[in-house]
Chains A and B, each alone.
Chain A
Amino acid sequence: MSVIKKGGYDRPGIIERSPVVAPGHTPGSVTDRISEVILARTPPWFYPAFGISFVLLMVLIFSLAKLFLEGTGIWGLNMPVAWGFAIINFVWWIGIGHAGTLISAILLLLRQEWRTSINRFAEAMTLFAVACAGIFPLIHVGRPWLAYWLLPYPNTMGMWPQFRSPLIWDVFAVSTYATISLLFWYVGLVPDLASLRDRTENKLGKILYGVFAMGWRNSAKHWHEHEVASLLLAGLATPLVLSVHSVVSFDFAVGIIPGWHTTLFPPYFVAGAIFAGFAMVLTLTIPLRSLFGLEDFITQRHLQNMGKVMLATGLIVAYGYGTEIFMAWYSGNQFEWYMVTNRITGPYRFHWFALIACNVIATQFLWIPRVRRSAVALWIVSMFINVGMWLERFIIVVTSLHRDFLPSSWGMYHGTIWDWAIYVGSIGLFLSLLFLFIRFVPMISIFEIRTLLPEAKGVAAEPTTPEESGT
């Protein structure tokens, strides 16, 4: 296998990089290695990990029950600050989801092959993040049992939703996003589910994988249609990467509150979303790849690339912060300028400085190649960014509202224990789904990894045959 010195790349002029798949793998070994995660016995660490996630999920359910019984008053909301953790968490989760879509759709269209190893995982993360995000708009309303009134459906009231409201745009954006993400993820899964169907010994497993594999028989026609569907879905998902978070940012940008009312928000939110999403992908993949020994497929190359994307989007986000401050000053609008000075010197200044430390300063370490190559360092930076992006949404939502136009109505906002319980609980939901996913579905796309192998490139001694790809 001496031919594959330069990973999947064999083009002149490209400097030597670490490979996207470790050397020495054959299509068979790829399938073995990845499906082993599912077919082997459950590793012992899985039980406590899933157990903790499940407990947090129960915390979520308990808190939601309390919320529905008593009302939104159990949160720290008040009259100047009528949005709090629920909206912050919504935006945070939606943002996290964006990396998955970016990886699976845009990088697919751009033929960035290194994405293959992480796209399945990132897509699943998108899906679960959107699931978590989707809870919050429903539960944050005062009468959640009537939240369906935000959907346009013919009804006896003769009422449509009010289409000028960004919250209605949110309904469309998020539901579209959830649908496309689910389809994309599922379509990508079909060949791998077929592999598992053929490999599992478990009877129930055979039936379930069989059902979900939808009769995949590895025919050329199947492959062709699969490829077309993937590309079409990628095409559909691509604009969503830009549109969903733009629409989410309209929730704020359409408002007239200083700190919200700015045209900067759509690009700044999209960059922030990708920034946050990659951070979350790194946060999850780094421990998982070592736990399952998948360093062969998620290589340093992947980590490095993700670090670079984070650096790039982090700089856009930092530029956004700068522009926000500059425009507040340049506009000469006293309310805008007060908002900026209040963020930096007001009662939430510690939050603001923490945000800058996490999102701007911590990101700068990614300039250093050694940091980008070190899994531990990357993980630490990505954790900073996870926190920082949550703080960013906190700053946007809370500090804009808590001191707006009339000083007589100014106030303070603090999350209560129930705010935190629901937030932590949503993380529990996310992790629970993630652990189930890891155990039951191949977290790395088997068939796509195989296309990265030298055999698939036609540089190997033995050409890949369709027969081999199917099993």
Chain B
Amino acid sequence: MSEKQTKPDPAAVEGSPEPDRVEAHPDSPAQDDPGRGKSPRPGTRKYWRSLEELADTEAFQEKVTREFPRLAVPMAEGVDRRRFLQLMGASLALGGMTACTKQPLERIVPYVRQPEHLVPGEPLRFATAGTLGGYATGLLVESHDGRPTKIEGNPEHPASLGGTDLFTQAEILNLYDPDRSRAITNLGRIETWDGFVSALTTALAAQQGKGGSGLRILAPPSSSPTLADQRRAVQERFPEFRWYQWEPVADRMGRGREAAEEPVARFDLEPADVVVCLDHDLLTQGPGHVRYAKQFGRRRKVLSERDSMNRLYVLEPTPTSTGSQADHRLAMSPAEIERFTAALGAELGVGGRHPRLENEKHRRLLRALAEDLRSHAGRSLVTTGRQASPELAERVRAINETLGNVGSTIFYQDPVIVDPTDPLADLRELTEELRAGRVEVLLILGVNPIYDAPADLELADALQNDQTWFRLHHGMRADETSEYCHWHVPATHFLESWSDARAFDGTVSIQQPLIEPLHGGRSTHQILALLQGRPGRTGYEIVRERWLDRLGEEGWRRALHDGVVPGTGPDGRSAPGGTVSGADLSEARSALGEASSGEGLTLLLRPDPTVWDGRFANNGWLQECPKPLSKLTWDNALIVSPRTARELGVDTGDVVEVGAGERQIEAPVWVQPGQVDGCVTLHLGYGRTAAGRVGDGVGVDAYRLRTTENLWRIPGVTVEPTGDRYPLASTRGHWNMENRGLVREASWEEFQEHPHFAHEGSHAPSEEMTLYDAWEYDGYAWGMAINLSACTGCNACLVACVSENNIPVVGKDQVRKQREMHWIRIDQYLSGSYEEPDGVLNQPVPCMHCENAPCELVCPVAATVHSDEGLNDMIYNRCVGTRYCSNNCPYKVRRFNFFLYQDWETPSLKLMRNPDVTVRSRGVMEKCTYCVQRISRARIDAESEGRTIRDGEIRTACQQACPTEAIVFGDINDEDSEVSRWKAAPTNYGLLAETNTRPRTTYLARVTNRNPELPSPKRESSHQGSSETDHGQG
């Protein structure tokens, strides 16, 4: 591995789109006439020849533009024969000449000095870090000849441990997004960097005298030490300058600046035997969630009766991925959760009044949970999410303290974010300042507040004031905010720029780029360098300067190579938790929750599981990624429980008007079992107007209902059907497993009694039941095992697979026609009744690579055949597209290119693709290959080193991304391999093995660790999942 900054790849530079084609700003007349709008050069006076010219009427313009007005008439009558033949002859000759077009001259120069380790065709991996909400995740990024093509987690980074989430996986597409802005613009006109620098310098010079009292910056929360230094330097230069932070989805938002400075909790799930999540998507959202998922997964996977398990309780209003893994999940409204937690606190001796719980189920759960927590004191963990009220947060903190969990499963530390603040307070203050006219120069760096600010701030209105005469938007795309700014400067993607960032636990990573900025973007550091009065400094210099004297050259190189700066992590001790400020545990306050729950519906606003707060709206991979449970793509919808939907008289796909006070929006309904009655949920991040070609006009904008008062929860909303219908695209087939034993499940106790429960009642034919001799796999025999006890259904594997295997985005219309192309999908079945499901069963389904593959038998042209290592190979070149294989596949994992789904034109997307994987054309079948390109690479490496492939050397893309390590791949001929160990587990079973397909992908049945004190649910499936409208028909 090399720590050098990657050279700009010749191919990348050649293919990178030049900023030659610029979309005209609507009110910019500059495109057609560069001279207009500018004041006339001194000495040129305007002369006119006629009155018409002076008046400049339309008729005159037309007359002037017609070059030969007199000739125009006879020409229009047609061409005579002679002329026609001449023209045709010339056209043909010219047409022929296009074949001899002179190709652009290209000099191919070999490296004078070959960069270290760079072998053409051999990918390299570099350690870097990506951030979300300011928190870093350490990454290893694969680079093919200078083009980053695949992101993986850095196993040495505490926030990743090798896993990633779907957002990180999708960053590759963000980098190569053809809609990224490509030029600096001033009022829509293209400007140079120098032009911008001089404009900014002029603006700053005016501020210099006032100490920067009119200078404001709005930027996202950051943990970057370098940025912190730069910020301090700017502050020294402009003492009156203010730095505001904004992030639409942040922890402790709206609780005030004081609360933001309080110690932050960090968890250790490995020692936790009992985990309680109170409205908290612990495993798929928030800082450190990938690590938590890893640790959680390690406590879930049981291979034998001796392995122990943790127990997860989830109380949440809206189904989440974390909820799908829960041993006990109850749908509760936020108010009920508050009351429940108060009661739990009282039971555990935290103090406070013990509110009466109305619901018998809640009371039963409370007793059992309190007992469970008491008996696991010090080995338990109670958490709550960012939506929690201060009271709930305080109770949770107190419960953890009382249980003695602090220092074992929960640790407190100072916030990682530099100068932590409440983004809401910051934005509110900035708005006030704008209105008061105190802001002259406003630099908006990498945030999009015009889109995602609370609606009642009316920021767009505040921003348009004459005092703020220099407004800069610095971002990767020209978005909603840049429309309100004078200047737009393209920002770099994190794979294009130098920076540094801290992980959730404080560990610092250096963020090193893998490619030169594709579109001449500048990083935030470079903008700040201008404010420091040190223009011209590169990001490399800025970051290196910050670290070089602390680490030394050797340490700097080490840090780049490892992806973590040593000695910056936590020390394993916990700071005192401190009480949550703003929490008022008095009885009057806790009664409030009860009162407000009575009237109307409660609208819950949540970040979207696939596009987050809207920043990923232009990412087709994420738009097309089916959201957990609803499997909805390309839209958000108002999630309503079946009972509430019935009361409202609405069904999936009905458009309703959601009214919150004087604000209304129209949204389609999605009826979701598992949603709590009386609460409806709408995900943020949709309804963007300037996201780009992919994200514009997709879904409804929930920010229009969000106010500073009600960030996450709006009580008393009205939902009125409008009578309209809206087409929703879901990849869900059917809720129900129809008693088919597809996902097999048992409780821990049942597993102890019947370790082979997964095989009871199934009729897999024996392998001897054939007239033919079985094929002997002499060398490797690849196989996969998926542990259903660990899968959270988070979709990281799906997006990783899309990225690794060049899987196309097909769009909403095609998804509605059930033509999505994902090679791996996560089937989710509900158990229990439709109205009150008591469990969600996640089942990732890639190709099974059956040894008796039904697809191979029926292909008329032998385009899908078995390899001697047991892979079911797909030969795209040979496929004629009869689709017979897909019909005969009992797992329906094959995907067909009904149209030319791949984008063969866009240059930047060509750079993005994995060169080891064929880009499929129209009319060809495709499917999971077990990442055969990775197998081939490992084989080449092993053969050149004269050894066999080691276990764990090949990791499929889904396996590598999986945050819970639920997937394992390897050689099943090797008895010691991890996959063989898994397959030897008593819970190992083959999906639909009774069809005698003998799948190579097998599943480890799900074992849940239910509390024996609580009644176990009847495991019978409901038959109420509506049938006709099931797939995609919303």
Contacts and interface: CB of A to CB of B under 8 A. Distances in A.
Given A140-B882, A406-B891, 18 more contacts: A71-B897, A76-B817, A79-B895, A79-B896, A82-B884, A143-B881, A165-B857, A165-B858, A166-B858, A254-B857, A255-B858, A255-B884, A405-B892, A406-B890, A408-B829, A411-B733, A411-B1032, A412-B1030
Nearest to A149: B861
A150 interface: yes
Interface stretch (B117-125, B317-325, B338-346, B734-742): B734-742
A71 B900 contact: yes
Q: Which 4 A-B pairs have the closest CB atoms?
A: A142-B881, A142-B923, A73-B898, A408-B827
B1001 to A, nearest CB: 13
A410 interface: yes
A254 B858 contact: yes
A260 to B, nearest CB: 8
20 contacts: A73-B899, A77-B896, A79-B892, A79-B896, A80-B818, A82-B887, A143-B880, A143-B921, A162-B860, A165-B858, A167-B858, A167-B882, A404-B890, A404-B892, A406-B827, A406-B890, A407-B735, A407-B740, A409-B733, A411-B733
B: interface residue count bin: 35 or more
A83 interface: yes
A338 interface: yes
Nearest to B858: A165
A406 B879 contact: no
Interface of B is mostly: loop
Contact of B738 (A149, A256, A338): A338
Contacts of A72: 881, 896, 898, 923
A140 B882 CA distance: 7
B830 to A, nearest CB: 11
A76 B736 CA distance: 25
B455 interface: no
B825 interface: yes
A451 interface: no
Interface in A286-335: 334-335
B896 A142 contact: yes
Interface in A340-357: 346-347
Contacts of A161: 860-862
A109 B1031 CA distance: 53
B857 A412 contact: no
Interface residues of A, number: 52
Contacts of B894: 79
Contacts of A254: 857-858
A143 B740 CA distance: 36
Interface string A336-375: 0010000000110000000000000000000000000000
A39 interface: no
A200 B880 CA distance: 49
Contacts of B733: 80, 406-411
Interface in B909-927: 921-925
B980 to A, nearest CB: 26
A257 B923 contact: no
Given A83-B883, A406-B733, A162 B861 contact: yes
B992 interface: yes
B292 to A, nearest CB: 27
Contacts, number: 176
Given A142-B879, A407-B737, A411-B733, A256 B888 contact: yes
B890 A143 contact: no
A90 to B, nearest CB: 12
A410 B900 contact: no
Given A71-B898, A141-B880, A162 B859 contact: yes
Nearest to A402: B1031
A208 B211 CA distance: 103
A405 B886 CA distance: 13
B819 interface: yes
A405 B992 CA distance: 8
B222 to A, nearest CB: 41
B1031 A410 contact: yes
A78 interface: yes
A141 B923 contact: yes
B376 to A, nearest CB: 36
B922 A142 contact: yes
A40 interface: no
B745 to A, nearest CB: 16
Interface string B843-886: 10100000000100111111000000000000000111111101
A406 B818 CA distance: 15
Contacts of B1006: none
Interface string B739-750: 110100000000
Contacts of A408: 732-734, 825, 827-829, 843, 845
Given A141-B882, A141-B923, A408-B733, A164 B857 contact: yes
B829 A159 contact: no
Interface string B610-650: 00000000000000000000000000000000000000000
B44 interface: no
Contacts of A167: 858, 860, 882, 884
B995 interface: yes
Contacts of A164: 857-858
A83 B861 CA distance: 17
A3 B625 CA distance: 84
B1027 A346 contact: yes
A25 to B, nearest CB: 52
B20 interface: no
A71 B845 CA distance: 27
A406 B1031 CA distance: 13
Nearest to A75: B898
A346 B734 CA distance: 13
Contact of A412 (B820, B888, B924, B1031): B1031
Interface string B719-757: 000000000000011111111101000000000000000
Nearest to B891: A406
Nearest to B739: A334
A347 B1028 contact: yes
Given A167-B884, A401-B887, A143 B860 contact: no
A82 B1028 contact: no
Nearest to A137: B882
A337 to B, nearest CB: 11
A19 B32 CA distance: 88
B734 A71 contact: no
A251 to B, nearest CB: 8
Given A82-B896, A141-B881, A408-B827, A162 B862 contact: yes
A173 interface: no
Contacts of B1027: 346-347
B1033 interface: yes
A72 B732 CA distance: 23
A278 to B, nearest CB: 30
Contacts of A160: 862
Nearest to A397: B887
A142 B1028 contact: no
A77 B923 contact: no
Nearest to A255: B888
Contacts of B882: 140-142, 167
Interface string B818-836: 1110000101110000000
A146 interface: yes
B883 A168 contact: no
Contacts of B858: 164-167, 254-255
A201 interface: no
A405 B900 CA distance: 29
Greatest chain A CB density within 10 A among B814, B825, B860, B888 is at B860
A293 B407 CA distance: 102
A257 B860 contact: no
B922 A159 contact: no
A143 B896 CA distance: 12
A335 B898 CA distance: 28
Greatest chain A CB density within 10 A among B888, B921, B1030 is at B888
A18 B298 CA distance: 86
